[in-house]
Amino acid sequence: MAKIFQVTARAGMTRVVEPLARRLLRAGVTPNAVTVTGTLGVLVGALGFGARGHLVAGALIVTVFALTDLLDGTMARMSGGSTRFGAFLDSSMDRIADSAVFGAVAYYLATEGDHSGVAAALLCLAAGSLVSYVKARAEGLGMTCDVGIAERTERLLIVGVGGLLTGVGVDPALEIALWLLAAVSIFTVGQRMAHVYRQAQRLPTAPGGQG
């Protein structure tokens, strides 16, 4: 059911994003420029607003700019596919943006004396990095890893909704969202590792060994 909802939501977003992607390409905007702009927007929302307690503004800015992750990918596909540098840049910018979001959340919660929330934010940061690493490592070994209920866009939307609700007075919403996100992120790591394990059982021994 979660997978069906995820696919349906992404299909809906694609119908919205594709016309914008075409306009930007016609205007000469590159996917890499959108990637960098999106990351800068997330940094402004997270560090400039969220970390200072302006949760509604921070959540809205981060959510809007996080959606450029769909936009730059759509633009790359329309223009003939992502380049190697484009893929590298996109992954690198994603890690910078994620670190800013959860670092800002942890800082804000620390100033509020919410130690449980800080722990959840740091766990989300670590688990989110692991979600991405497992996929990258699998693909580096020649396998696929496009599975999981909590990919990057979903993770940012969950924390964004939590921040937005807390900002309008629903005090426990952000902490609840963080613990929920930590749980689904850890579950996603397990999903991806199990998926890779099944593939690895059918393949020769990987180069480089363990480490």
Question: Is 44 within any annotated ligand binding site?
Answer: no
Q: Helix or strand or coil: residue 203?
A: coil
Question: Is 37 within any annotated ligand binding site?
Answer: no
Question: Is 52 within any annotated ligand binding site?
Answer: no
Question: Is 171 within any annotated ligand binding site?
Answer: no
User: Rounded distance, CA 34 to CA 20, Å?
Assistant: 12
* Active-site annotation holds for 114: no
Question: Is 146 within any annotated ligand binding site?
Answer: no
CA atoms within 13 A on the CB side of 114: 19
Using left for φ > 0, alpha for ψ between -120 and 50, and beta otherwise, residue 209 falls in left
Question: Is 69 within any annotated ligand binding site?
Answer: yes
Question: Is 34 within any annotated ligand binding site?
Answer: yes
Question: Is 90 within any annotated ligand binding site?
Answer: yes
Q: How many CB atoms lie within 10 A of CB 127?
A: 21
User: Rounded distance, CA 120 to CA 155, Å?
Assistant: 13
Of the listed 94, 98, 114, 171, which one is catalytic? 94
Q: Which two tokens stand for residue 19?
A: 């016309």
Question: Is 134 within any annotated ligand binding site?
Answer: no
Under DSSP, the state recorded for 50 is G
**Which residues belong to the active site?**
94
| Positions at the binding site | 32-35, 69, 72-73, 77, 83, 90, 94
| Positions at the binding site for Mg(2+) | 69, 72, 90, 94
| Positions at the binding site for a CDP-1,2-diacyl-sn-glycerol | 32-35, 73, 77, 83
